[in-house]
Structure 1
Amino acid sequence: MTITQLKYVLAVAENQNFTKAAQKTFVTQPTLSMQIQKLEEELDILIFDRSKKPIELTSVGKKIVSQARSIVNEADRMQDVVDQEKGFIGGAFKLGIIPTVMPTLLPMFLKNFTRKFPKVQLKIEELTTDEIITKINDGHLDAAIAATPLHIDKIKERVLYYEPFVGYIPESHRLAVNKTIDSKDLEIDDILLLEDGHCFRDGVINLCKASKLQHGEPFQLESGSFETLIKLSDEGLGMTLLPFLHTMDVSEHQKRNLRYFNDPPPAREVGLIYNKSELKLQIINALYDLISGVVRGAIAFQDVKIISPIK
């Protein structure tokens, strides 16, 4: 049994196809198939049910894959142990960021980080919170930036900053006359939301303590971007809520539509999360120190009311 064979097994389990798995692992399909067959012969079991399309794991195969993932992850961390002992800040590092944080936060720290730590090969993916959790647990991400607290076993959370919600209210809206707004002023049936899957959406719903679509509502509008929500709001289709950092990018004309909450404003907690057994702590600490320092200069709010991202 070899680490290479286990990596081939994981590739097939993930892609449910021998040809795609071979492409992902940069070997020929016959080579990959032969190595997996050798492993099955050695263990005297079938890991995959090849009669199914797409290929499925057998019941014992599921257990083998779970164990293989642990073994491969631990083997891959051998270099991490050495790097940590030497205090070396470098090497490959996979970072996930949720979509509602990526556009505003990434430009604030990426250039500084790459300049300060040129030996770190940073690979960044935009992922939903659910995708991030899966990839961290499977060992496909070293860390991620997401709305917290999530309270998930095996995942450690470190708060980076607190980001208040800000109302974006067009002139035609009932709340436009208010200089400031309060949570009790909100009615969920006239708030434009991000589409399902975004934790900021869940935070807004939790803030309003209601469901999006009320009985008798003539339409339901959802979008994948804040830019679209702003445009829809400008058309008089409702108000929306934005994360504070996103309001820094709106035009001077649009800033007239911003309404801040009375103290303490509702806010989301944004944290750096990673597996509790993660060993690339020298890079994680570097990311944490740089990001929290940069954002601290942009967000002066301290007295906030944290809204949970969990439904």
Structure 2
Amino acid sequence: MTLTELRYIVALAQEGRFSRAAERCSVSQPTLSVAIQRLEEDLGVILFERGKGQVTLTDVGEQVVAQAARALEEADRVRQIAHRGRNQLEGGLKLGVIHTIGPYLLPELIVSLRQIAPDMPLAIEENMTATLADMLRHGEVDAAILALPFELPGVVTRPLYDEPFKVVVPQGHPWQGKQEIASDEVDAEEVLLLKAGNCFRDQVMDACPQISGSDTEVRQGHSIETIRCMVASGFGLSVLPAGALCKPYSTDLISVVPFKAPAPSRRVALAWRVGFTRPKAVEALCQAVGLIDNPSYLHVR
């Protein structure tokens, strides 16, 4: 049984005459007739009742032709999938991104990506680095945007940009309006941090030596936005990535104080599996990030 034979019986069932079915399939009438007869012999059933110039489906023939039509549709889908596979910039891409990057980078990234790959929509998974590592390893995401260092066997990374950290204080704080601050001045007594398990928390603690690991619950938040609200309410100060301090996320209730040079920062990178079959999609993501004109990101060239 071949797809060609299935096409022949579907055409004959729809046309009702051997001559019209043969013309539709671009073959001679004897070729089509012999092929259908061979299929009937192979199946051991009669599919068509032959009359003078006219054919009619048998009961079993109706069932076989209906199944043949579905099989031809599925075969066509296989071709469509293969066609999309030839164009690496066509079809959805599963992109992971960590919580402290996603809300601030993605709006601009999606806009710039549409210029490069308009037929490659992003299915976005926002999660913590450890979870994204597992998802990347098991093929649940195709690529992930996260902060370095990041090492995983079978996975490669490409730096995208460096993002400086900045101090945020509430209105009326003694540091409001200060031109810059040294990292060792950030006092552990009033700093607000993300909860344990978040890589940005670890980076802030590494950057500011005065911050100890013995934090109490009241000085921790689940997200950057929660911490921003706590600072705005006057509960303390914090250190946030520069990308999270641009509009529409900035507010008059907090003031931003840059660090003295060299300012602490994080390097953001794209990670993907070594054997990923769409390298052009990876390149398109990198190019799209490079198109973003945001002073908070210092692009790695």
TM-score range, shorter chain: 0.5 to 0.7
Q: For the residues of structure 2 that align with 1:107 and 1:178, how far apart are their CA atoms?
A: 31
Q: How far has the Cα of 1:286 moved from its partner?
A: 0.4
Residues 163 and 268 in structure 1, CA contact (< 8 A), matched pair in contact too: yes
Distance in 2 (alpha carbons) for counterparts of 1:231 and 1:167: 14
TM-score (norm 1): 0.63
> One-letter code of the match for 1:155?
V
Superposition TM-score, scaled by structure 2 size: 0.65
Report SS of the residue matched to 2:218.
coil
Residue 40 of structure 2 corresponds to none
1:299 paired with 2:300, answer no
Deviation at 1:177, TM superposition (A): 6.3
1:58-109 residue CA offsets vs partner (Å, 9 max, x unmatched):
xxxxxxxxxxxxxxxxxxxxx89994xx564212321001111111101112
Deviation at 1:201, TM superposition (A): 1.0
Residue matched to 1:237: 235
Cα distance in 2, alignment partners of residues 81 and 285 from structure 1: 20
> Following the alignment from structure 2 to structure 1, what is the Cα–Cα distance between the partners of residues 262 and 283?
30
Whether contact under 8 Å (2:84, 2:91) holds in the other structure is no
Number of the residue aligned with 1:49: none
Match in the other structure for 1:267: 265
1:7-36 CA-to-partner distances (Å, cap 9, x unmatched) read xxxxxxxxxxxxxxxxxxxxxxxxxxxxxx
1: CA distance, partners of 2:83 / 2:161: 29
Over the matched positions of the two proteins, sequence identity in percent amounts to 28
Other-structure match for 1:143: 143
Q: Tell me how large the CA RMSD over aligned residues is.
A: 2.7
CA distance in 2, matches of 1:188, 1:162: 25
Which residue in the other structure is 1:160 paired with?
160
Shift of 1:246: 1.1
- My pick for the range that moved more, 271-280 or 115-124, is 115-124
Flag structure 2 segments of 5+ consecutive residues without an equivalent: 1-80
Which aligned pairs between 1:26-175 and structure 2 lie closer than 5 A?
83=85, 86=86, 88-175=88-175
- Cα deviation, 1:232-262, whole Å, max 9, x if unaligned, reads 123322101111111112446246x110011
1:145 match: secondary structure? strand
State the secondary structure of the residue aligned to 1:91. Answer: coil
Q: What is residue 196 of structure 1 aligned with on the other side?
A: 196
Shift of 1:175: 3.6
CA shift in 2, pair 1:189/1:162, >3 Å: same
1:188 and 1:205 in contact (8 A); partners too: no
The answer (yes or no) to whether the contact 2:108–2:292 under 8 Å persists in 1 is yes
How far apart in 1 are the matches of 2:82 and 2:263? 41
Native 8 Å contact 1:188 1:211 kept in 2: yes
Which region of structure 1 is more displaced relative to structure 2, 174-183 or 154-163? 174-183
How many residue pairs align between the two structures? 218
Gap regions ≥5 residues in structure 1: 1-78, 304-311
Distance 1:252 1:136 in 2: 36
Corresponding residue for residue 25 of structure 2: none
Task: Say which SS state the counterpart of residue 113 (structure 2) adopts.
Answer: helix
Contact 2:192–2:227 (CA under 8 A) maintained in structure 1 = yes
Which amino acid in the other structure matches residue 113 of structure 2? F
